[in-house]
Structure formats: structure tokens, C-alpha cells
């Protein structure tokens, strides 16, 4: 009886084991593939936020472009309709706490929301003092 090959039971055991092991391996792989685009989305959103902050930071404290808005104002994000941008300019004191009057500090907040709904914030403070 020198026959070579697999028995039917060995093949069935192999199929059952493969049915258990392959999904356990594929789930983390599929999750990684699904999330692989997120770094690009984050980089693009942060780019838009920093770009807007640079536009605002070029102005002096007293410039009309840095007038206190009393709320968030929408801005365009470089022709990308899936990203929404908001900026807010508010008076703050020397501890960066909201202030109702002008004490020489303005905080600029830029917020960008990506297509997946995540938000990214960039903050800066400008002063009247030189």
C-alpha cells in the first residue's frame, strides 16, 4: 500500500482551517487599505488651514482684514468643494482668554473640515504692541 496523496478527510480539514484563518488575516488588511487615504486627506486639510493662516498673518493688527468678526466666517479652500474652511478673529487677553474689549491681542482661529467630517484647527495671536 504505497499510495501517495491526500485523503478526503485531510482535504476537508484543510478547507475548514483555511476558512477560519483567511478571514482573520484579511480583516486587518482590508481595514488598513480602507484607511490608507486618510493621511492624504489630513495633509490637504492642514495645508488649507495653514494657507489661510498665512493669508491672515500678513496683515497688521489694525488692518480691516483682522477685524473682530464675532463668529466664524467661511472661506474658500482652493477650489476643493469637499473641504470647508472657517476662520474667527476674537479679542483675547494676555492669558489667551476671551476678552470683550480690545486689550492689544487678537486670536485667529482657522478650522478646516475634511470630506470625512474631521476638523483641523490652527491658532495664532497677533498683537498691537511692537
Distances (CA, A) of 115 to 40, 52, 71, 73, 101: 12, 18, 23, 19, 36
The stretches of the chain forming alpha helices (DSSP H) are 8-34, 38-57
CB proximity list for 69: less than 8 A, separation 6 or greater: 88, 89, 90
Domain limits of the chain? 36-127
What residues form DSSP beta bridges with 90?
107
Tens of pLDDT, residues 45-94: 999 999 999 999 999 999 998 998 788 999 988 778 899 999 999 999 98
pLDDT above 70 for 96: yes
CATH architecture assignment, domain 36-127: 2-Layer Sandwich (3.30)
| Distance between first and last Cα of the chain | 98
* Residue 22 CA from chain centroid, whole number: 33
The predicted model scores a pTM of 0.69
- pLDDT tens for each residue of 28-50: 887 777 766 778 888 999 999 99
Amino acid at each position: 500500500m504505497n499510495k501517495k496523496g491526500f485523503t478526503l478527510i485531510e482535504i476537508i480539514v484543510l478547507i475548514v482551517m483555511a476558512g477560519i484563518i483567511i478571514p482573520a488575516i484579511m480583516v486587518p488588511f482590508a481595514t488598513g487599505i480602507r484607511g490608507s487615504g486618510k493621511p492624504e486627506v489630513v495633509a490637504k486639510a492642514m495645508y488649507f488651514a495653514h494657507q489661510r493662516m498665512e493669508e491672515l498673518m500678513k496683515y497688521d493688527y489694525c488692518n480691516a482684514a483682522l477685524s473682530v468678526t464675532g463668529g466664524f466666517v467661511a472661506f474658500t479652500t482652493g477650489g476643493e468643494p469637499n473641504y470647508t474652511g472657517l476662520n474667527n478673529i476674537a479679542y483675547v487677553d494676555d492669558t489667551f482668554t476671551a476678552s470683550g474689549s480690545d486689550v492689544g491681542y487678537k486670536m485667529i482661529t482657522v478650522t478646516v473640515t475634511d470630506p470625512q467630517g474631521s476638523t483641523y484647527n490652527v491658532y495664532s495671536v497677533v498683537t498691537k504692541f511692537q
